[in-house]
Structure 1
Amino acid sequence: MILLTGFEPFGGESTNPSWGAAQRAAALLNDAGEPAAAVQLPCVFGTSIGVLAGALEAHQPDLVVCVGQAGGRAELSLERVAINFDDARIPDNAGNQPVDVPVRQDGPAAYFSSLALKRSLVQLTEAGLPAAVSQTAGTYVCNHVFYGLMDLLQDRSATRGGFVHVPFSSEQAMAHRAPGMLIEEMAAGLVIIARASLQHQTDLPVPAGAEH
């Protein structure tokens, strides 16, 4: 079972492409005979991890791919690391705005994704989809959920997981005059990431770092 999550709209947007992409990817996987489910998370600190924990219990997935919107980015961002740090530049959808506080008080400083990031990057590039390994998932609710996911998976050693940021949708991109991507392309990319991560226990040693 593959669990995909996306977020509700936030920051004044009327839609969130992460949710549309997660829904469509789950449908594509199910149509191909690969069991998958999509769950929407609230863009709220704390509550989002609670909803995610409930989804893990309900679906007992082998793989979890959490997805969020990164407006302004031009590619699918395969997030490498989640940090134990909340620093909200804007309030979440419940009005919370934590500043310089840990996601989990006694948790480790960071967790790394257990998705096949490099294999996914190679396969996404071969499919003509813009993608990159990202070294930061920010300090807002996306990183909060990413850290929460990897923390929850410490008790589920057989389950792999990680986080992917998607650009604005094509419609949002036009409104913001920013890079964008079709929801269908995002979904196709998520399917590639899910399959690569389920089929391979080891990643490829290809360069995908950053100089700054």
Structure 2
Amino acid sequence: MANKKKVIVTGFEPFGEHAVNSSWVAVQELERLGLGEAVDLHVCEVPVEYQAVQGLLPSLWKEHQPQLVVHVGVSGLATTVTLEQCGHNKGYKRLDNCSFCPASQCCMDSGPDCIHSVLDMETVCKRVNESGLRVALSVSKDAGRYLCDYTYYTSLYLGQGHSAFIHVPPLGKPYSSQDLGRALQAAIQEMLKLLELDPKHNEHCNHKHHHQHDYV
């Protein structure tokens, strides 16, 4: 058990027009499929609330010490499964499910404007698209300045870039929950392969906490 890779995957609760949030549905489908014998998969549903995210994420990273944390969110604009390359610190003006937004409109007061994942999402995207999955993936550098982006930035900051964010379309537009689950599975398996190939990506997150500000 000790040798298993620990991966956390989160989805979001319903909000706004998304009475069913396809991100959490897709993550539950992924949990059924699993990520293979070598991976210990832990899933959780994240509230669409800035303060809840600030409370939840540090405990996820600290308690589980995962190799990778993948956050999944819904985008009403998405027509593909979209891999986000980076998270942004500023521009959070939109009110959350508690009608709250940060007074500073930013995530971390002293944090860099943008933090990139250590994973090359273009590579992940290309490999999954070439695998014959029949679900289209694309890459984005703008996670939308709402709870998705806020969560991603916080996780990238806490995890030294060992995080990923995947936007999924609403259910049936055009993909089923099964399609989305398979796409998450394929993408995360490719991410884990990339981490294995590059030793500097695979250093455990505890080693470098005092260097957090170096990750830009």
State TM-score, norm by structure 1: 0.82
Report the CA distance shift for 1:31/1:109 in structure 2 as closer, same or farther (over 3 A): closer
Shift, 1:99, TM fit:
7.0
Shift, 1:6, TM fit:
0.5
Alignment partners' CA distance in 2, 1:27 and 1:114: 27
1:1-212 equivalence runs, <5 A? 1-29=6-34, 32=37, 34-89=39-94, 91-98=95-102, 101-126=105-130, 127-154=133-160, 160-170=162-172, 179-201=173-195
8 Å CA contact retained: 1:116, 1:193: no
**1:143-170 Cα deviation digits (max 9, x unpaired):** 000000001113xxxx821111100111
Shift, 1:120, TM fit:
1.8
Shift, 1:93, TM fit:
0.8
Percent identity for Structure 1 against Structure 2: 28
Q: Secondary structure at the match of 1:55?
A: helix
Alignment partners' CA distance in 1, 2:29 and 2:61: 20
Alignment partners' CA distance in 2, 1:196 and 1:106: 33
Bigger shift: residues 73-82 or 124-133: 124-133
Q: Secondary structure at the match of 1:181?
A: coil
Q: Secondary structure at the match of 1:111?
A: strand
**1:159-188 Cα deviation digits (max 9, x unpaired):** 821111100111xxxxxxxx3321111111
Report the CA distance shift for 1:30/1:82 in structure 2 as closer, same or farther (over 3 A): closer
Letter in 1 for 2:175: M
Gaps of 5+ in 1: 171-178, 204-212
Q: Which runs of 4+ in 1 moved over 3 A?
A: 30-33, 97-100
8 Å CA contact retained: 2:119, 2:194: no
Gaps of 5+ in 2: 1-5, 199-216
Report the CA distance shift for 1:189/1:113 in structure 2 as closer, same or farther (over 3 A): same
State TM-score, norm by structure 2: 0.80
Q: Secondary structure at the match of 1:46?
A: helix
8 Å CA contact retained: 2:85, 2:120: no
Shift, 1:34, TM fit:
2.7
Alignment partners' CA distance in 2, 1:115 and 1:24: 23
Q: Secondary structure at the match of 2:107?
A: coil
Q: Secondary structure at the match of 1:120?
A: helix
Q: How many residues align?
A: 190
Report the CA distance shift for 1:167/1:21 in structure 2 as closer, same or farther (over 3 A): same
